[in-house]
Structure 1
Amino acid sequence: MSESVQKMSRLQLTAMVVGGMIGAGIFSLPRTFANATGPVGAAIAWIIAGAGMYALARVFQALAERKPNLDAGVFVYAKVGFGDYPGFLSAFGYWIGSCIGNVSYWVLIKSTLGAFFPIFGNGNTLVAIIVASIGIWLFHFLILRGVKQAAFINTVVTVAKVVPIVVFIVILVFAFKLDMFTLNIHAAAQEGSIVQQVRATMLVTVFVFIGIEGASVYSRYAKERADVGRATIFGFCAVTALMVLVSMLPFAILPRGDVAGMRQPSMAAVLESLVGPWGAIFVSIGLVVSVLGAYLAWSLICAEVMFAAARNEDMPALFSRENANGVPANALWITNIIIQLLVASTYFSSDAFALMLNLTSSMSLIPYLFVAAYGLMIAKRSESYEIRPEERNRDLTFAAIAVIYTVFMIIAGGLTFILLSAILYAPGTALYVWARRERNIPVFVRGSDWIIFIVATLAAIAGIVLMATGSIQL
């Protein structure tokens, strides 16, 4: 691939972070948080999520600077630190989780259009699925024309989609009612344990933070390696501020129960309650632009992860091939085929958006845990700290916090989504077997690999049985 195609500026890398993080989730935050908790619970949830994800962002930054030879870092850190099979599982989990996340984007777009055109319903009608399918393949052929072109479009779209969010925040700041905010605090306090309220928001906060690693995934395109870490931290701080305000300010505008009962995207309904119908139209247009931009960013990331895993011999070699424009075409094809199948499956789901949101979060936590654990490992060993050794204790602290946070989030998500994740992880091992056999090397070389595979398989079987008996409902 030529230098002119490969290189991305710090602005473009930052746009990959912001573009990946600002997607469907932020427009659904008012109702999602109001359903789970009040202002106090929301504040606690953001403190936990913000601290944990900031620590993870600092791990990504440290690894980008201290391990510059490791590209597409989301999965390669797991491979270097813990072996080939954990590295594969990290790559596969991140890839399939990102595919599921892309499906949630289409569901929310269709649901948004359904508020104006009943034929789209809640986003899972036949017409809605056909329209989404057309969109999937339009994006597919756009990306095939070149990564640099797609990255430029993503940068422009990222700027455009932030505007309606900022306008929403400004209007709500001026409409702030302290008495309503206080009323919602007291009302939520009467509705049970604050711990349970906070727990109910956990997978949502993971979902809206997914994308924090966007610059790391595209590290091989960076003009300067230091730009990867800087883009990660700046994108994280900017988007976190927006998400906190979007979720908290509605509590000062309307009773919590009213916000909880709103149609998604609830940001549009909140603004409509203040300024009239044009508010819903304005936010809905912003949502469509935002989600399409996020979909573009995540389509790039999905294909890049599959390509990088194949290049590192953890996926079949078929997915390491690029077209004349330097795009990992085969990886992009398999990604969009999976997305197409998942979009079609939403026809049978009662609440496709919530399911895709929670499952995306659950699938992403395992790769995040591997990254945090690898950062902790090299800090404890003082590996790569010959330069600036005084940063070791700081990095060790951030990595430890990130490990604790990701483990806590996996547990907080609940057994249901652990089992659903296993249903995807276990059969995904077939790709690993394919890759190992085509290179004539043993499938599992460590005893721990067998243990991980057996545990994942048993969990997958348990999940399938529980789904068949109705104990787990989609």
Structure 2
Amino acid sequence: ATITGFIICIVMYTLVGMLSLGVYSYGQLAHLTSPSTAYILTDLWHSTIGRDVITVALLFAVFSSWISWIQMLAELPQHAASEDGAFPRAFAHVSKRNVPDFSVIMATLVIQVIIIIAHFDLNAYQMLLTVVGTMTVPPFLISEMYLIKISRKDGEFAKGAKHSPRKAMIIAVLALAYTLIMGVSAGIKYTAIAFIAYAIGIPFYIWARKQYNKPMFTKGEAVFAIIIVAVAVYGIYALMA
């Protein structure tokens, strides 16, 4: 399904691009406001029907995307709470219609907070797009550093693994360098803003640990929590500046 969907999207993007370049030049397309396809269809059909079709299609696309993302954001914490205990038990609660109601409410609130934060940026869409990209930097860095750690010590690397420890070390170092370049290229400001979302999750992490009678933080976790909060504070300052 993933491969099929990817191929369909590539074909659709290619067709839309070819349609656009058949009507306007690169320079003209760059000066069109979104949705630019509405202007193209208006010129092709010599009517405002093209603009109306794109507007209605855009509304359906945004609405369906919003529903699917809300559903995914709600079901992931619900599964983590019921199966792994990684979230507080409240997230595992489901309604009579088998909907994770508490998780849906919390996901919606977080989305609203992000939208409000984006309001303070003059280029909100580009800012959110960049922040979403940079949010992958911290978990990638941690995963790559962990792979470097287990590749260096005998006995920690999985026996019978597809790659040898030496090859895994090379892959991890290259991936680490690429991730650092990606974070710096996106901009320190946007990378710091991404940490705000991670800081919001710390209270829920503490809540879950208390429910399962576990220590609030280990020493390593406490260090990470302090770093996350410090970077998030800088991110808020950078956002408001």
TM-score range, shorter chain: 0.7 to 0.9
- Tell me the CA shift for residue 292 of structure 1: 1.5
Paired with 1:366 and 1:435, the residues of 2 have a C-alpha distance of: 22
Per-residue deviation, residues 168-216 of structure 1 (Å, max 9, x unmatched):
xxxxxxxxxxxxxxxxxxxxxxxxxxxxxxxxxxxxxxxxxxxxxxxxx
Residues 81 and 88 in structure 2, CA contact (< 8 A), matched pair in contact too? yes
Structure 1 counterpart of 2:59? 288
Per-residue deviation, residues 397-450 of structure 1 (Å, max 9, x unmatched):
9xx599466555333322121010122322421111111122221122252x23
Structure 2 counterpart of 1:410? 183
- Tell me the CA shift for residue 320 of structure 1: 1.1
Structure 1 counterpart of 2:199? 426
Superposed, which structure 2 residues align to 1:50-129 within 5 Å?
none
Residues 259 and 270 in structure 1, CA contact (< 8 A), matched pair in contact too? no
Structure 2 counterpart of 1:267? 37
Per-residue deviation, residues 63-114 of structure 1 (Å, max 9, x unmatched):
xxxxxxxxxxxxxxxxxxxxxxxxxxxxxxxxxxxxxxxxxxxxxxxxxxxx
**Given the two structures, how large is their TM-score scaled by the length of structure 1?**
0.41
Structure 1 counterpart of 2:217? 444
Residues 118 and 128 in structure 2, CA contact (< 8 A), matched pair in contact too? no
Structure 2 counterpart of 1:203? none
Distance change (3 Å), C-alpha of 1:453 and 1:248: farther
Code of the aligned partner of 1:459: V
Residues 372 and 403 in structure 1, CA contact (< 8 A), matched pair in contact too? no
Code of the aligned partner of 1:354: Q
Is structure 2 residue 135 aligned with structure 1 residue 363?
yes
| Paired positions, count | 224
Paired with 1:371 and 1:233, the residues of 2 have a C-alpha distance of: 28
Code of the aligned partner of 2:208: A
Q: Which runs of 5+ in 2 are unaligned?
A: 152-156
Structure 2 counterpart of 1:242? 12
Code of the aligned partner of 1:352: A
Which secondary structure state, in structure 1, belongs to the residue aligned with residue 215 of structure 2? coil
Paired with 2:184 and 2:124, the residues of 1 have a C-alpha distance of: 23
Structure 1 counterpart of 2:154? none
Q: RMSD between aligned alpha carbons? A: 3.4
Paired with 2:229 and 2:69, the residues of 1 have a C-alpha distance of: 28
- Identify the match of residue 3 of structure 2 among 223, 230, 233: 233
Is structure 2 residue 95 aligned with structure 1 residue 323?
yes
Superposed, which structure 2 residues align to 1:305-320 within 5 Å?
305-311=76-82, 312-320=84-92
Distance change (3 Å), C-alpha of 1:382 and 1:341: closer
Per-residue deviation, residues 256-291 of structure 1 (Å, max 9, x unmatched):
232122221223233333333222222222211222
Code of the aligned partner of 2:190: F
Paired with 1:273 and 1:452, the residues of 2 have a C-alpha distance of: 55
Paired with 1:282 and 1:436, the residues of 2 have a C-alpha distance of: 51
Per-residue deviation, residues 296-317 of structure 1 (Å, max 9, x unmatched):
2111101011212322222211
- Identify the match of residue 458 of structure 1 among 219, 230, 237: 230
Identity across aligned pairs (percent)? 25
Paired with 1:245 and 1:269, the residues of 2 have a C-alpha distance of: 16
Paired with 1:257 and 1:349, the residues of 2 have a C-alpha distance of: 26
Code of the aligned partner of 2:10: T
Paired with 2:175 and 2:6, the residues of 1 have a C-alpha distance of: 18
- Tell me the CA shift for residue 456 of structure 1: 1.9
Per-residue deviation, residues 29-85 of structure 1 (Å, max 9, x unmatched):
xxxxxxxxxxxxxxxxxxxxxxxxxxxxxxxxxxxxxxxxxxxxxxxxxxxxxxxxx
Distance change (3 Å), C-alpha of 1:328 and 1:427: closer
Residues 426 and 460 in structure 1, CA contact (< 8 A), matched pair in contact too? yes
Paired with 1:428 and 1:244, the residues of 2 have a C-alpha distance of: 39
Distance change (3 Å), C-alpha of 1:445 and 1:261: same
Is structure 2 residue 78 aligned with structure 1 residue 303?
no
Distance change (3 Å), C-alpha of 1:464 and 1:292: closer
Residues 127 and 190 in structure 2, CA contact (< 8 A), matched pair in contact too? no
**Given the two structures, how large is their TM-score scaled by the length of structure 2?**
0.74
Paired with 1:290 and 1:266, the residues of 2 have a C-alpha distance of: 16
Residues 189 and 238 in structure 2, CA contact (< 8 A), matched pair in contact too? no
Paired with 1:307 and 1:340, the residues of 2 have a C-alpha distance of: 20
Which secondary structure state, in structure 1, belongs to the residue aligned with residue 102 of structure 2? helix
Residues 268 and 280 in structure 1, CA contact (< 8 A), matched pair in contact too? yes
Distance change (3 Å), C-alpha of 1:298 and 1:366: farther
- Tell me the CA shift for residue 361 of structure 1: 2.7
